[in-house]
Amino acid sequence: MVLNHSPPPGLYITGLGSQYPPYLLGPEKLEEFAARFYDVESPGLCRLKKLLQINRSSGIETRSAIRSYESGFATRPEAPTISELAEFYHQAGVDLTTQACKKALRESQISPQHVTHTIGVTCTNQGNPGFDLLVNRKLGLSANVDRMLLHGVGCAGGLAIMRAAAQIACGASMRRKPVRILAFACELCTPNVRHDLAFAEKAPNAENISIAGALFSDAAAAFVLCNEYAMAETEITPLFQLLEWGNSLIPDTVEHMAFFADVDGYRTVLTRDVPQYTKHAIGPMFEKLLPSYQSQIQSSSGEGVGEVAKSLGVSDFDWALHPGGEAIIEGAKQVLGLTEDQLQASREIYRTRGNSSSATVLIVLDRLRSLGKREYVVATSFGPGLAIEMAMLRRCEVDED
């Protein structure tokens, strides 16, 4: 077989920014909060007690939250409506996203007026026009910016917007046009905790409860992706070169993860079988993308075939694994044979901030810059479908030490 060593895509991440809200909630806070509205010691509330048990054993020490459990919606006897959650998101969520975007733009040394495209994603807000329009206006972007807002991708959203940005940038390169794409994700999950508790109480049995109320947190993240024509107009050193990406559905798993508007508020479906499916999906996706990734490295390095086409494997990469839960991290570690060193960024974010849905994998990638040391990087996340997203990158600056 003859490999086609075509030039790699000239796609570069030039800035990353993440923003957490100011509050950190330990596991005990959820228990105190639940006790305000339920007799958690009642034998009839075994399903809710199961959720609180999972909360204590999740491996999360603190979750980031946009508000404490002593203010706002948490102090009211009734749960917030979807319209109230939307109004709150359009203020607090937009502010959080704007802060993350400003960090990414500042690192990229790109002024808001030079952004050509924006791609946003969230699953905790709905509406038309989308929240991305509010973010763009707050940043002072041009009215001519090409906007895109993704929906329905859940926790996979951070890499779904990276995939969309890559495809747009490649199309622009074919037309020899520079693009500077600002992509962002924001999730406010903790305002929905009253609904999480209510749905746990009503679950058919303790084995079928959603564990969302014990895992999810709030955060925003952003990155700037430029093609080679935009890079020719700047002197900054990019952070990563994006060389390969892909996504796929895991067959017959659609019922295991969902997030949707119900009559009583937003409802999360997250079954205990998710880790079993996700851990077995990572390896095949990695092996599918690896040959093309190695080919792109060879084309960009100018080295001989024998030197560059060496057998890269799982152990050669730093991993930005979406920390969807302790079982997801442990499952990937077991099946792929990963070391704690390769997973340290995912572990740290999960332990100290929890799972912030679509924004999380981008935050892990951001954290990996100072924790990781390998030249090769792979990021992967999972969302409803079940869907797996993966991106393979190469550090543009590697610490030889």
- Give catalytic residues, as residue numbers: 155
Residue 63: which of 351, 255, 299 has the closest Cα? 351
Specify the pairing of strand 317-321 against strand 387-395.
Answer: unpaired
Q: How many CB atoms lie within 10 A of CB 123?
A: 25
- 211 alpha carbon, distance to own chain's centre: 18
Q: Using only C-alpha atoms, what is the Rg of the chain?
A: 21
Supply the DSSP symbol for 80: P
**Contact partners, residue 53, CB within 8 Å, separation at least 6:** none
Structure-token pair, residue 17:
């920014």
C-alpha–C-alpha distance, residues 191 and 213, integer Å: 10
d(CA 93, CA 87): 10
Q: What is the distance between the alpha carbons of residues 91 and 114, in angstroms, rounded to a whole number?
A: 25
Residues 6+ positions from 4 with CB-CB distance below 8 Å:
295
Please report which residue ranges of 155-309 form alpha helices under DSSP H: 157-174, 193-202, 212-215, 228-231, 274-301, 305-308
Q: What is the rounded CA–CA span in Å between residue 156 and residue 131? A: 18
Alpha carbon 259 to chain centroid distance? 15
Strand (E) or helix (H) holding 371:
helix 360-371
Instruction: Say which residues have a Cβ less than 8 Å from residue 48's Cβ, sequence separation at least 6.
Output: 34, 38, 40, 197, 200, 201
N residues, the chain: 401
Q: Which amino acid is at 144?
A: N
Q: Which two tokens stand for residue 222?
A: 């952003």
The continuous run of DSSP H or E covering 46 comes out as helix 46-57
Q: How far, in Å, CA of 163 to CA of 290, rounded?
A: 16
Spatial separation of the C-alpha atoms in residues 181 and 99, rounded to whole Å: 17
